[in-house]
Amino acid sequence: MLPELKGIRTIRQLTEFTHTELGAFFSKEVKIDPAPASILDMKARWQDLGFVEFDPVFFNGARFPSEAKYSGWKRKPNEWFYHQVREAKVAGSPLVLRRGWALVDTSTRPNYRTDGSQTFNDDQFSTIMTDLRVDKKVGIPIDNPDLKLNSRFAISKDDVGEVIYPEIARTLLRVGEGRVTNLKAIEFIFLRNLRYQHFVEGHDTWEFFDDSYSVGPGSGSLTLRGGNGEEGLSSAVDYCSTFNRLSRNCFRPVIFVGAHLAVIK
């Protein structure tokens, strides 16, 4: 959790903090949508269940083209990412934040171990992952015999979307409160610059993004991924298949709160 958020107890405090934070990042007045009344209650309830690493954040629908010069926009996406966007290989609106309030998992991703046995420290999703693997709802790669059953790694994006996130939604959410998904690449990099340097720096593992990717007919189902800190000062974005269970890939859920999600193009 961001230390500055620990003292926030009311929606008004959260809104004022966010207004100041985003104003400094963009160096201008930023319109903040009213925070859902349930967002702090949800966070408190999840903490009681042991899910302690979720922070509230407001995505304001900003756009981040390659020439963007916002004050807080220091570590930009790598040039490969912008080239793929220009080539229309990334689906949707890849340079735009989805507008809305969300609760984001802020856990620190571990470095890779040569046997693929790395796990998040005190992972809040360890029980869910163990249960899903024991029940054979999520498979174990045959080339990773040292995989720990509670690990977020060595899963596919298809596993995440079809099995893991529905289970997290069932465990954490009440009907109608929100939806569980991955951050888009641009949202991940925005958060890296805004608050969470640890999302990238010093790490040699990857996490899935919500962005679908294509290199042309017959390329199969592909997704963007990122977070690898070995690429230097830029924020590296790469791609992989959605169905392979690779030892360096993992997930970071974000829960958008409320039914309305506006995307400004």
pLDDT above 80 (res 133): yes
Mean of all residue pLDDT scores within the chain: 89
Percent of the chain with pLDDT over 70: 92
pLDDT band at residue 5 using 50, 70 and 90 as cut-offs:
confident
User: If pLDDT is split at 50, 70 and 90, which confidence band does 8 have?
Assistant: confident
**What letter does residue 221 receive in the DSSP assignment?**
S
Check: CB of residue 124 under 8 Å from CB of residue 107: yes
Model's pTM, two decimal places?
Answer: 0.92
pLDDT band at 230 (very low <50, low <70, confident <90, very high): low
| Angle, helices 39-48/11-26, rounded to nearest 10 degrees | 110
The phi and psi torsions of 141 (rounded to 5 degrees) equal -60, 135
Q: How far apart are CA 100 and CA 264, in angstroms?
A: 11
Query: What is the arithmetic mean of pLDDT over 65-93?
Result: 95
Residue pLDDT, tens place only, 135-174: 999 999 888 888 999 999 999 999 999 999 999 988 877 6
Q: Cα 7–11–17 angle (5° rounding)?
A: 60
pLDDT of 260 strictly over 80? no
Instruction: Please determine, for residue 261, whether its predicted confidence score (pLDDT) is greater than 50.
Output: no
Alpha helix positions (H), 27-152: 39-48, 79-86, 126-134
pLDDT, average across residues 52-62: 95
Residue 132: strand, helix, or coil: helix
Residue 173's pLDDT is what? 72
Q: What is the per-residue pLDDT across 182-202, written as a single tens digit (0 to 9) for each?
A: 999 999 999 999 999 999 877
* Pairing mode of beta strands 98-105, 222-226: unpaired
Cα Rg of the chain (Å, integer): 18
